[in-house]
Structure 1
Amino acid sequence: MNRQKCLYIILLVVGISMNFASAKTLILATQDAEDSIFVDTEPREKRSFEDLKDRYNGNEFIYERTSENSGWWTRFKQWLSDLFKSLFDLNSDAEASNITDVILKLFYISIFLLVVFFIVKAILNKEGKWVFGKSSDKSIIPVTDIESNIHVADFQSLIASAESENNFRLAIRYYYLWLLKTLTQAEIIEYDVEKTNSDYYYEIASEDTKEKFSYTSYLYNYIWYGEFDIDETQFSKAKTAFTHFLKSVKS
């Protein structure tokens, strides 16, 4: 036997010996591990869980949202997204959702602007005033204060407004106060809110003017203080008397 073969035989014997030793060590280790495991042989109490679905059916236990268990707003947005996806032929749910969010934001802004518009309009219509400003039209005076402010009142506008509402009694009241204003400006009378018709009558020097004033005063007292409802025909006759008197004073 040559040296090379002897060397192969020696290496084979050594390898087999080492494998045998390793296998023996592994077996012993496995046996030691099995000997160290504690086996509990005590009897086990069987436990049961009842009504789990009833106890854990709250909203916080829903981990997957569907159209059935989502809120109405979420379902509405989903419906809008599906609608826009169909209308605009979108390929992505995310893109449809983004468009929905943009449109809803624009809707919120529009509602806000409308609310602001109506608030501002309401403020402006309240006797022509801003919240922190003065009156935008000095001729707009509460009815109860007209007698104290006849010199700044725009009676033409007030009469036109009363006529448009078919408030003929109020229109006659404005005509009479307008007449007092005109007579004062013509220095025929001296206006005072405390004076009576008789006081003004005796201040007038012209007999013709006295006669016209007496008649218009009668119409005013009968219609306004008498609280008689008048129709358009009766109002037209009274209006003619006042307008003719006003024109004669101005001329």
Structure 2
Amino acid sequence: SITAKTISKDTINKYRSQDAFRYSTKDKAQTKSFFERLWDWLWEKYYDLMGQEAGNTLIKILLWTIAILGVVYFILRIIGMDAFAFFQKKNKDGSLSYEVLDENVHTINFSEAIENAVSQRNYRLAVRLQYLQTLKRLTDKNYINWQPNKSNRQYVHELAASSLTTSFNSLTTEFEYVWYGEMQLAPQEYEIISNNFKQFYNRL
């Protein structure tokens, strides 16, 4: 026969008083950090959304929109157009003022113009003039085909197959940061940028 053994109440209370034998799902939940609980909440909302027809429709619309924009961007890059032209700032007369350099680089006396800008401590203008001078030198060497109203990024695209593309892209980024960002440069900051242009000229 089988004899059932019983555990005394004192023994049970002894084990209950020990932390190792305390089990609580509440304690486990409280050990999660704020970010873990936030992540769980986001996933819960995501699954709720995916389970609804409206949520599935929204996801499909977003995916199709991203795909269409990607195709449009790819086509614009192939034909050499600036993919962000629609978002560029315009002057009151409607002409583009962002990324478009319409000065005739063949009629500017760059040495005199740059010297005047530096003497007036207008380093922002001096950087613009040096960038225009760069476009002229690249045109003279037949690296690019300068045209009024072409964007900076179109010139970068024209140099894509050249060993100069990385350096020219860096100069373009520096110029855009200073000119369109309306940065006020200190003399030493301008000197660094000016030297970058001079080093680029030496490679032509």
Relative to the length of structure 2, the TM-score reads 0.49
Q: Which is helix-richer, 1 or 2?
A: 1
Larger Rg: 1
Higher relative contact order (CA 8 A, sep 6+): 2
